[in-house]
Chains A and B, each alone.
Chain A
Amino acid sequence: MTLLLQGLALGILTGGLYALLSSGLSLYFGVMRVVMVAHPAFLIVAAYLTFTLHTGLGLDPLLTLPITVPVFFVAGVAIQRLLIARLASDTMAMMSVLLTFGLALIIEGLLGTFYTGSYRSISMEYATQSLALGPVRLPYDRIIAFAVAAVTLGVLFAVLRMTRFGQALRATIQHPEAARLIGIKTERVTGYGFGVGLATAAVGGAVLALITPFFPAAHWVWIGKLMAIIVVGGLGSVQGAAVAALMLGVIESLVLVTVDATWATMMFYIFLFLTLVVRPQGFFGGRLAQRF
């Protein structure tokens, strides 16, 4: 029973992190119907950048964010404007996957060359202790990860709901042509949408570096997990992805404490296939999901 409670608590914390890591993917899909396979690779890039800034300048991993977030925002805008926007629109869905897949390979190769293939990790003193809540022990690093994820998602949500940029972005997601008709510069907004998506990868990568060891090929594991999350949640739905992330995080952690690690990861794929068989548009997704 204690084991299950422990699994449940850890699962919620991990699920919150998953929600942050997959939020960028929902944004890209929303604004451009693009599945950005390179997103997890950028997470790993952010983890390495955080590592370098931490070991080189002695910065706390979370204090590197003011440096990495703007860099990633600009990189996101650049990728959208210079690469993805230039693809032919009729084959966009397939070609953009291949394009971003190519980007992921480029990144993995470069990381492997500069940082070698061995594991890296950042260990902070505060991360090694844990908070005891009755019989349940919660490591502080997981709590920090969850808190950062919650704050970031909260900010993202506030930006989408309350700012003019957020309104323009949501209008572009819902109906690009109508958005253009009322004077929204949809191309520019789409570029910024990509930038915001990649900026979430900067935050996610820093948190990832804090709680888990990483290596250049680590992004493959995340591709599977994050893609499963956004399909189960319904492609393009930020809220759906967040709910699916929490759900799968809890399931993963419960299976982890009761069965083993292989089956815990396998749960993501099992739920992915179940979703396709039962409800291909995802459990929380809207009408646009199925066609893409």
Chain B
Amino acid sequence: MRSGSRYGLLALGAALVIAYPWLAPNTYLLYAGVLTVMYAVLATSWNLLGGFTGYVSLGHSAFFGLGAYGTGLLVTKADWPWIPALLVSALVVAVFAGLVGVAAVRVRGASFVIVSIALVSMMNLLVQGWRSLTGGSTGLRVPTPFRELNRGESHLVFFYLFLVLLVLALLTWWVISRSRFGSGLKAIREDEDKAESLGVPTTAFKVVAYGLSALFVALAGGLYALWFRSLDPIFVFSILVGSYMVLMSLLGGVRHLFGPLLGALIVAPAGEYFLVALGESQIHLTATGVLLVLVVMFMPEGIIPAVAKLVRRFRPPEASIREETAEQRSKEAVA
């Protein structure tokens, strides 16, 4: 795509998103919009780790839940104003994630995924077990910071708050992808042993990426607590939320800035639609599972590369630096 039309498309998309709350015909669709932007934030933040390093974490909802409970508890039990509560709890979660990361990134591949799943279960147990502080399985009520607003107006405010967070997460991804740090992370993704032997401080890089990714997820969790006003440990610490982040990122394309966002735009509304159309039945889990299996089997690189390949087929080859895997490069070299 030529850069002119690319910026045009970007501006159009941004304008549409900003105008969405005014276009949404009812409160429910506005609510669904907030949810979608929230998932876009989560997926983009997940991609700070998953996309750059290739470490697939199924347990990022642990940081979502911790951010949510941290903010909720600081607001309710310590009477903090919401902004410092949000920022402090997210920072604490990021530091905690860094500490967990030191243990977690010691192992690769499947073991790492196991650790990430274990982390969510652990946090879920802890929050449900610590009844006196968190209210256990009955959940935690969080007062809204905007008492004078009605439901629709509150959705509107949080739509833009999540949007700001989304822009921050995208900017962070973009800056990293152009930095030395980003190159190091990508080197880890392509071949960790070679990266290490070339002097990339792999452990430090992975831990920082893990913490940074957790920071944004925790911020989204904190906003969720303030927006939703009641926290259910089963939902905020569910592996399903974590798997949504993975599914959205994979579906859109983990190597692309807007991949997770695109995935969120597809999966989140689809999920909401399933919930409305099929009611309380559990079949939406099956739909999510089928989608995940299809993506893994047939489109592991995501929609963006698939479409780009299609577009490239109909235009003359261009001489620009593309991002490609070492494997692709060696295949091309052989051919």
Residue contact A83 to B293, C-beta cutoff 8 Å: yes
A105-B286, A290-B111 are known; give 9 further A-B pairs, CB within 8 A: A33-B110, A86-B297, A103-B289, A106-B290, A108-B289, A109-B286, A117-B282, A216-B282, A228-B114
A94 with B118, Cβ < 8 A, contacts A112-B282, A266-B126 known:
no
Is B132 engaged at the interface, CB distance under 8 Å to the other chain? Answer: no
What are the residues of chain A within 8 A of B129 when measuring CB–CB?
260, 262-263, 266
**Count of chain B residues with a beta carbon within 8 Å of a chain A beta carbon:** 45
Residue contact B110 to A93, C-beta cutoff 8 Å: yes
Contact of A235 among B111, B292, B293, B327 (CB under 8 A): B111
Residue contact B293 to A103, C-beta cutoff 8 Å: yes
Q: Find residues 94-148 in chain A having any chain B CB closer than 8 Å to their own CB.
A: 94-99, 101-113, 117
A113 with B282, Cβ < 8 A, contacts A87-B296, A99-B293 known:
yes
Contact of A220 among B108, B121, B126 (CB under 8 A): B121
What are the residues of chain B within 8 A of A94 when measuring CB–CB?
54, 56, 109-110, 113
**A interface, how many residues as a size bin?**
35 or more
Is A157 engaged at the interface, CB distance under 8 Å to the other chain? Answer: no
Residue contact A108 to B285, C-beta cutoff 8 Å: yes
Report the Cα distance A104→B282, complex, angstroms: 13
Report the Cα distance A235→B282, complex, angstroms: 33
Is A272 engaged at the interface, CB distance under 8 Å to the other chain? Answer: yes
A68-100: contact bitstring with B at CB < 8 Å (1 yes, 0 no)?
000000000000000100111011011111110
Report the Cα distance A276→B117, complex, angstroms: 14
Report the Cα distance A86→B117, complex, angstroms: 25
Contact of A265 among B56, B111, B125, B296 (CB under 8 A): B125
Contact of B103 among A33, A102, A277 (CB under 8 A): A277
Report the Cα distance A220→B282, complex, angstroms: 15
B82-114: contact bitstring with A at CB < 8 Å (1 yes, 0 no)?
000000000000000000000110111111011
A97 with B56, Cβ < 8 A, contacts A113-B281, A266-B126 known:
yes
Is A169 engaged at the interface, CB distance under 8 Å to the other chain? Answer: no
Residue of A nearest to B193 (CB): A291
Is A31 engaged at the interface, CB distance under 8 Å to the other chain? Answer: no
B111-155: contact bitstring with A at CB < 8 Å (1 yes, 0 no)?
101110111011001101100000000000000000000000000
A/B interface sample: 20 pairs, CB < 8 A: A34-B110, A98-B292, A98-B296, A99-B292, A102-B290, A104-B289, A107-B289, A108-B289, A110-B283, A110-B286, A113-B282, A231-B111, A231-B115, A235-B111, A263-B129, A266-B126, A269-B119, A276-B111, A280-B107, A292-B108
What are the residues of chain B within 8 A of A104 when measuring CB–CB?
289
Is B239 engaged at the interface, CB distance under 8 Å to the other chain? Answer: yes
Residue contact B300 to A88, C-beta cutoff 8 Å: yes
The minimal Cβ–Cβ distance linking B272 to chain A, given in whole angstroms, is 16
The minimal Cβ–Cβ distance linking B52 to chain A, given in whole angstroms, is 14
A1-44: contact bitstring with B at CB < 8 Å (1 yes, 0 no)?
00000000000000000000000000001000111010000000
What are the residues of chain A within 8 A of B169 when measuring CB–CB?
none
What are the residues of chain A within 8 A of B283 when measuring CB–CB?
109-110, 112-113
Residue of A nearest to B293 (CB): A102
What are the residues of chain A within 8 A of B121 when measuring CB–CB?
220-221, 223-224, 269
Is B246 engaged at the interface, CB distance under 8 Å to the other chain? Answer: yes
The 8 A-B residue pairs whose C-beta atoms are closest, nearest first, are A112-B282, A109-B286, A105-B289, A109-B285, A262-B129, A102-B292, A93-B109, A106-B289
Residue contact A231 to B300, C-beta cutoff 8 Å: no
Report the Cα distance A280→B12, complex, angstroms: 49
A266 with B122, Cβ < 8 A, contacts A105-B243, A109-B286 known:
yes
